Amino acid sequence: MTHNSQNGTLKTVIDNKIATVEFGHPAGNSFPATLLRSLAEAIKTLGNDNDVTIIILRSSGSTTFCAGASFDELLAVSNIEEGNTFFSGFANLINAMRKCPKLIIGRIQGKTVGGGVGIAAACDYALATSNAAIKLSELAIGIGPFVIEPAVTRKIGKTAMSEMALEAHDWKNASWAMNKGLYANVFEDIKDLDEAITSLCSKLSSYNPEALYQMKKVFWEGTEHWETLLYERAAISGRLVLSDFTINALESFKK
């Protein structure tokens, strides 16, 4: 199943109870609102599919996993309501991943920024290449990683999250991300990464689906309040994105 548009691509393949979902966008696999919505819907659909036990989440290409929110769409936000709606897209996706009854395995093949770090953190288990450096650049453009913070903090802790948020211009390399707990393991290249994911997922897909589901519920205990928290956070970003600071910063970033 493939969904194609100028707003990016989304492709789902199911094989031997393993669903592979691949998102793509020409601008560094960044997310316009429609692609965020499509991905959240795909995760929900697969969660209800009895022929699926495990979901692999990946992006297209070999260099960037995800560049976060679409700059063009951030610049196009003209009022509070639009800002709120746009950032709620990330809240919807993270909540869909959190509530999905299937385990989600992240394949992080390259650099990841902003919202992309939140998506990697919302996976139940993420494997990466040594090129998969991460950065939370939001403060540098006048907003902050508000919506994704709970997901990132849940994986790496408040201290490491704070370090990333404040060092908004600095990349943290893949071994840093692994040491902090974002990645379970890091591989030299994509070939090794894919072999490890294939091996892991074939084992997982042979386990009792009910046991996996109950285990996932345990992993996410204590996050029920995200149902409201992430939307409160989206409202903060939605307000900040309208500031002169952010508009000027985005314009100069684009140049």
CA pair distance 71, 121, nearest whole angstrom: 22
Each residue's pLDDT tens digit in the chain (255 positions)?
Answer: 666 567 899 999 999 999 999 999 999 999 999 999 999 999 999 999 999 999 999 999 999 999 999 988 998 999 999 999 999 999 999 999 999 999 999 999 999 999 999 999 999 999 999 999 999 999 999 999 999 999 999 999 999 999 999 999 999 999 999 999 999 999 999 999 999 999 999 999 999 999 999 999 999 999 999 999 999 999 999 999 999 999 898 888 777
DSSP 8-state secondary structure symbol assigned to residue 69: B
Buried b / exposed e over 91-113, threshold 16 CB at 10 Å, is bbbbbbbbbbebbbbbbbbbbbb
Q: Determine the 3-state secondary structure of 164 from DSSP.
A: helix
Tokens describing residue 141:
């453009």
Domains along the chain? 2-209+222-254 (3.90.226.10)
Place of tokens 């996996």: 212
CA pair distance 65, 109, nearest whole angstrom: 6
In this predicted structure, what is the pLDDT of residue 120?
Answer: 98
In this predicted structure, what is the pLDDT of residue 1?
Answer: 61
In this predicted structure, what is the pLDDT of residue 78?
Answer: 92
In this predicted structure, what is the pLDDT of residue 163?
Answer: 98
DSSP string, 81-150: HHHHHHHHHHHHHHHHHHH-SSEEEEEE-SEEETHHHHHHHHSSEEEEETT--EE--GGGGT---TTTHH
CA pair distance 190, 225, nearest whole angstrom: 36
* pTM of the model as a whole: 0.96
Nearest-CA neighbor of 124 among 188, 193, 189, 43? 43
CA pair distance 132, 169, nearest whole angstrom: 16
